[in-house]
Chains A and B, each alone.
Chain A
């Protein structure tokens, strides 16, 4: 199905904003201004956007420690996120959560998560809620659990998959296989020779595989997956083959990578470059259109960083709010 010019521009903008958000953080983190652990999503943009472009606010997603891309793709505000990462009290979590705990329930973003494998069972609960609510005009609302190749080894993920099949929950397990969990290769850690989709199939759900660095492959695959799940056929899974362009966390020396690997994946597996090549070759968008989005995105990130730097800092009293009781 051919996307409209507006839809193409919107998807490209979302991916580009994620890219520039992360590239900027990579630079800012080195200055020491940003505290805590930050895991960048650079390289995987086509997955978050290709999935979330099909969703509305009533559909839910749950994310991982590498959550910025999912948040932005689901519609979290760029500036409010940046403020959170800067630890401002104006941030999405008032500076209490930071990079690993960004959430915005109003847009259906149930949280980034610092515990690997914690997301999938929560996504099943959100899916059961959607099942209880019943279908709307275009079918059931869905819930999406984003997980990494490492998270797929967690018992919680297995339990969630079986639970979702047994309860026919409209839940979609999206596995982003970027070939690494921290410093460990997927072929070592995932016993099915790195094949995650077949595990999901073994739990009794339909599973798809697609190139996660190709926006159109992700988007087309998700159209099928969502049609299946919204129609009430129970859960589904998708494994996207993708790449992370930076280290596991900022500061990772990445000695586990092969020679030239980073240059190669940046050259050959960059979802933004692929998108541009494909839409310009097909005459759907021109370079000038995309260049305009590029500069808008950079401006948006610049504005967000400026706002985050200037935003109000939390105070000691803020420690004691947003919790049931304090002693």
Chain B
């Protein structure tokens, strides 16, 4: 085990996979940083420090610093993937899927199916998502609910450095397009990471991070830690919470959720994305359909409101789910009737 930050788990996994497999290539804006300047390549490196040193190690053919052209970045990733490479493309902010949605949705996500299973498109699109920096409506969003709704894509949202390591390796070695969502507020998180160069976490396997009998709390990403804090607080009162980290929203580990709710009878889904047609609504529906008889209370969703993300500190913190709001959600299902 090594102690490592979330961002370093991203970087080291990419570097290890590039060393292992010459078909792995990286592309994105400023992933080299400093191209065409007096400071030279790698003068700065990517803005999240998740590509530092790759250019020096693997060269310009495999570490491609792109112009600001998201459609072309993602389209090129598809073309690379259809031609035998394993691209790891970076969108600097998840919000920028808006610029290249066709390439994600109509192109890379659909090739394998439309081509009758005769092609594979092993592309990873990494992107930094999430609020908490007062970066306002176009630089703070959680986009997994949009992408999870698109057949053909796998969607991963790791919550710890170890999960970054295991899930990113799986993503790079996977033959389907994978959206890899990195929460900005987690980049500095430190944790133990296995040294095994083949450590992989399979998609569709959720992780139980707290165990209890009374309520099931499902989340992923930054808010997972908030849910754990609530579970720890309630444990002191003798209330037991199962906390489930989904890890991947597509594929979805239905079984982990249903097994837990069958015991607890209560579900709280905590999500950073807006409430309509999203993960929370989806999981509440899943449990209502498939674990109806076990339910002791209506499933509860803790999400931001159906608004764009506001800028001011007071507004953003009112907007976001917090430990207090999650606790209130849990107490609501516990106190139902």
Contacts and interface: CB of A to CB of B under 8 A. Distances in A.
Contact of A188 (B65, B135, B310, B312): B65
Nearest to B39: A256
A114 B47 contact: no
A243 to B, nearest CB: 14
B196 to A, nearest CB: 35
Contact of A183 (B37, B69, B72, B95): B37
A114 B36 contact: no
Interface in A313-327: 313-316, 318-320, 323, 325-327
Given A182-B47, A256-B34, A319 B136 contact: no
Given A87-B312, A252-B44, A326-B305, 20 more contacts: A35-B133, A35-B311, A95-B310, A96-B308, A98-B312, A151-B68, A155-B72, A183-B34, A183-B44, A184-B37, A185-B36, A186-B36, A256-B37, A256-B40, A256-B44, A257-B38, A258-B37, A323-B306, A326-B306, A327-B305
Contacts of A258: 37-39
Interface in B249-300: 275-276
Given A117-B99, A153-B69, A184 B305 contact: no
A253 B70 CA distance: 25
Contacts, number: 169
A97 B43 contact: no
Contacts of A256: 33-34, 37-40, 43-44
Interface in B57-112: 65, 67-72, 95-96, 98-99
A151 B99 CA distance: 12
A88 interface: yes
Given A183-B33, A183-B34, A36 B136 contact: yes
Report whether over half of chain B's contact residues are helix, strand or loop; otherwise say mixed.
loop
Contacts of B47: 182-183
Nearest to B70: A154
A188 B33 CA distance: 11
Interface of A: 35-37, 87-89, 93, 95-98, 100-101, 113-117, 150-151, 153-156, 180-190, 252-253, 255-259, 261, 313-316, 318-320, 323, 325-327
Nearest to B40: A256
Given A36-B134, A150-B68, A183-B30, A96 B315 contact: yes
Interface string B32-52: 011111111001100100000
Contact of B69 (A154, A316, A325): A154
A184 B99 CA distance: 20
A87 B65 contact: no
